[in-house]
Amino acid sequence: MIPEIGHFALILALCVAVVQGILPIYGAAVGNSALMAVAKPAARGQFLLVLTAFGCLAYAFAEKDFSVLYVAATSNSQLPLHYRLAAIWGAHEGSLLLWTLILTIWMFAVTLFSAHLPESTRSRILGVMGLVSIGFLLFMLTVSNPFERLIPAAAEGRDLNPLLQDPGMVIHPPMLYMGYVGFSVAFAFAIAALLGGNLDAAWARWSRPWTTVAWCFLTVGIAMGSGWAYYELGWGGWWFWDPVENASFMPWLAGTALVHSLAVTDKRGGFKVWTVLLAIMAFSLSLLGTFLVRSGVLTSVHAFATDPKRGMFILAFLAIVIGGSLALYAWRAPRVGLGGSFAAMSREGMLLANNVLLVAAMGSVLLGTLYPLFLDALDLGKISVGPPYFDSVFVPLMAPAVFLMGVGPLAQWKKASLPDLAKRLKWAFGVSVITAIVLPFVMGTWTPLLSLGLLLAIWIATTSVVTLRERLTHVAGNSLGERLASVPRSYWGMLVAHCGIAVFIVGVTMVKGFETEKDVRMNVGETATIGDYLFRFDGAQDVVGPNYTAARGSFSVSRDGRETTVLYPEKRRYTAQNQVMTEAAIDPGLLRDLYVSLGEPLDDGAWSVRLYHKPFVDWIWGGCFIMALGGVLAISDRRYRIAWRRQEPAVPAATRAARRKVA
Amino acid sequence: MKPRHKRFAFIGLGLVVLGIATVLVLNAFQSNLVFFFTPTQVVNGEVPEGRSFRIGGMVEDGSLVRENDGLTVRFIVTDTAKRVPVTYKGILPDLFKEGKGAVAQGKLIGDGTFVASEVLAKHDENYMPPEAAAALAKAKASGAQQSKSLVVPEGRKDSL
């Protein structure tokens, strides 16, 4: 009964979405405020209906209702409750329901925080989101129904893929989807602006915080996925340029470009057309990502079933959304106007260069990801594009972007002087170059890439210091503390996010430069050395978990005769599907990770073992979290806060202009 | 220079840079493509020499042999028509099993052995990697009479 209620709620949600997608947009076009007023209650109603459906599915999982096909396929009576609930998004149907739920959550958020928007803009935004929602609800109801019954009911479920039975996997998909779907708000803002024909600085200011929130979620989501791959797949890599990873990385690149381009539109009224295009691009790539990952086109833990009907549906949906919005763009963009002019050497110019580089990087990832699929679809042979391609393309594209990242915040808007910039940055430049050259020698090896990575990271750090120092001389306040406090939060946000990149680059550079890896056969009592650490294998024992049995190895790790830690990697056999899983043991640290995973049992209690010493690897994810923290700081800026916004009309125009100049 | 000319020069410079970038990207792309071949294609000598490629199919039942160092393994990948011996030094992925699909990346050496640098088995238990599935389907489609001669004569293998 409960699953039927969920199914019914989805049908009702579709009806509401149709109303929400048509009436408010039409109302905005003809100026009928009664029709426009439909948007808000419709969006909220749709949210409640989808939430109901989601709750029903959660209930079916919690109650182990194996008469629901999806529940039977992805859970098991022995699966602990938290993983049973996480199994809701453990496969195709449920993750689409999660996608839709998150879309309605964003809609609901728009209804809450849009009191300041003109009625017509708000109804267009909600209308566009309603249209997107129609696509997803229709998809679920026609080809991918999570509430489909299995009659007669299965006695036991097939169990969740053991790879997904992990705390990281519980939060990674919702985070990622918050990011993906969050770009739908920026997209809806862009489409609303195209429909309405007015795109001004106020528009950019409204859509900026939404975009930044989505970007933060996406950043954290990708970082968690990468961390999960690192400790769960048992081979110590953190990024494989797997199509699935690329699918989430492409919207991130476009979204990062969008965040920067919105800054120009907000502050200077420039880049308008480009910003709209980026908003369309970011959301289209999010849809493409969902399609790539969930359609079964790709082979990985993410692709669960190959069903051509689903593929066709999503392909058609993609074509309508992307094609439709680009057609609208081509038709209406000329009306939007280009915005103010600027010199090549100016903050706008550098942000434009950064945007071009980010989009070029996105394009190269897109090429490497889609080309093999394209060839395969045309039956021209099977190929794959390896990580060397992405590595060799990415470094040259990103290095200049990172260099500009140091200069950009110091350059004046409209027109900057190169000699002046050079003068202000000469110390930062000197310090970075010298450290980058000398430091690798001190650490023992010198390679060009090592130096380049360190150069870029130190460059960001030193230029951030210069930027902050100059900023402090321009703000009001007597003591240093007062002046630090009067630097706006959004400015801190930018600095913090940029420093996050620096931390990330340090992590990548150090891991690539100094990691050591060893595959060895180890008898009981035998030792192996990696880095400065001595690993002694103390044998393996059998242990029993809730839904698996495992062999647990024991490794004592010591350095210079002193014991560092004991690591317990496992080789698990999940009973439901008789599937073997490697559970690596990691001793994390600020400066290095020690990583052990078991290979296979050999004779006499010996095992083949994989040992890693990974310097600075945690900086990779730390950097991502710092970037996201920067985003959070930026949106907490008071210029975005509603209360302040309400007061704004009371602030004299001159003060406002002065503030804007400062910001 | 008039502002107009300046703008043109600016755009032109941008296009040149973009063009160079495109050439570099496409060049890197071209040299990093990894092609996929079925065991039949490998045995028939259709594979590029000295270049890394991927091979996929079923790991033949009973063919997995581990050498004394505990790390080097030998097995045979087959598409039911032809068989290719593979060696790999390292730890096999969890999902690697005899009788299941697998994809390996590496190079062919003189005696017809495929030396794998990487063995991929990122699919789940009941699911064949599409490349491996395609290899089996292709062999099946190319004639039932071939599939009777499952075992390649030893001499033939050496002559490769």
CATH code of the domain containing B59: 2.40.50.140
Examine the domain organization and report whether B25 and B88 are in the same domain.
no
CB A541 within 8 A of CB A554: yes
pLDDT for residue A450? 92
Cα A637–chain centre separation? 22
Provide the residue type at A650 as one letter. A
Provide the residue type at A13 as one letter. A
Tens-digit pLDDT profile for residues A214-270: 999 999 999 999 998 898 877 778 888 888 889 999 999 999 999 999 999 888 888
Q: Give the length of chain A.
A: 663
Examine the domain organization and report whether B1 and B48 are in the same domain.
no
| Out of A135-149, A277-291, B62-76, least confident range | B62-76
Q: Which domain holds residue B63?
A: 36-159
The residues, ordered by sequence, that sit 6+ positions from A513 with a Cβ below 8 Å of its Cβ are: A440, A445, A447, A449, A450, A453
Percent of chain A with pLDDT over 70: 94
Q: Which of A411, A304, A311 is nearest to A354 (CA)?
A: A411
Examine the domain organization and report whether B29 and B41 are in the same domain.
no
Interchain proximity B29–A385, CB inside 8 Å: yes
State the virtual CA torsion across B13, B16, B21, B26 in degrees, nearest 10: 170
The token pair at A591 is 């400066």
Tens-digit pLDDT profile for residues A589-616: 999 999 999 988 888 889 999 999 999 9
Examine the domain organization and report whether B133 and B85 are in the same domain.
yes
Chain B closest CA to A400's CA: distance in Å? 12
Percent of chain A with pLDDT over 90: 53
Mean per-residue pLDDT over chain A, rounded: 87
Q: Under CATH, to which class is A1-165 assigned?
A: mainly alpha
Examine the domain organization and report whether B20 and B90 are in the same domain.
no
CA distances from A278 to A254, A292, B128, B137 (A): 6, 20, 38, 42
pLDDT for residue A375? 80
Examine the domain organization and report whether B14 and B46 are in the same domain.
no
| Out of A182-191, A652-661, B138-147, least confident range | A652-661
What is the rounded distance in angstroms from the CA atom of residue A80 to the CA atom of residue A70?
17
Interface test with A, best of B10, B103, B122 (most A CBs within 10 A): B122
Report ipTM (2 d.p.): 0.75
Cβ-based contacts of B123 with chain A (< 8 Å): 299-300
Task: For residue A384, give the nearest of B29, B36, B124 by CB distance.
Answer: B36
Percent of chain B with pLDDT over 90: 8
Examine the domain organization and report whether B141 and B73 are in the same domain.
yes
Examine the domain organization and report whether B88 and B52 are in the same domain.
yes
Tens-digit pLDDT profile for residues A505-537: 999 999 998 999 888 899 999 999 998 899 999
- Ranges of each domain in chain A: 1-165, 171-410, 417-514, 516-616
Examine the domain organization and report whether B49 and B28 are in the same domain.
no
Chain A, 281 to 320: residues with Cβ < 8 Å from chain B are: 299-301
How many distinct structural domains can be found in chain B?
2
**Within an 8 Å CB–CB cutoff, is residue A468 touching chain B?**
no
**Within an 8 Å CB–CB cutoff, is residue B1 touching chain A?**
no
Per-residue pLDDT band at B153 (split at 50, 70, 90): very low
Tens-digit pLDDT profile for residues B69-127: 778 999 999 888 889 999 999 888 887 888 888 888 899 888 889 999 888 765 544 45
What is the rounded distance in angstroms from the CA atom of residue A98 to the CA atom of residue A58?
11
Closest chain A residue to B89 measured between Cα atoms?
A519
**A96 phi and psi, to 5 degrees?**
-70, -35
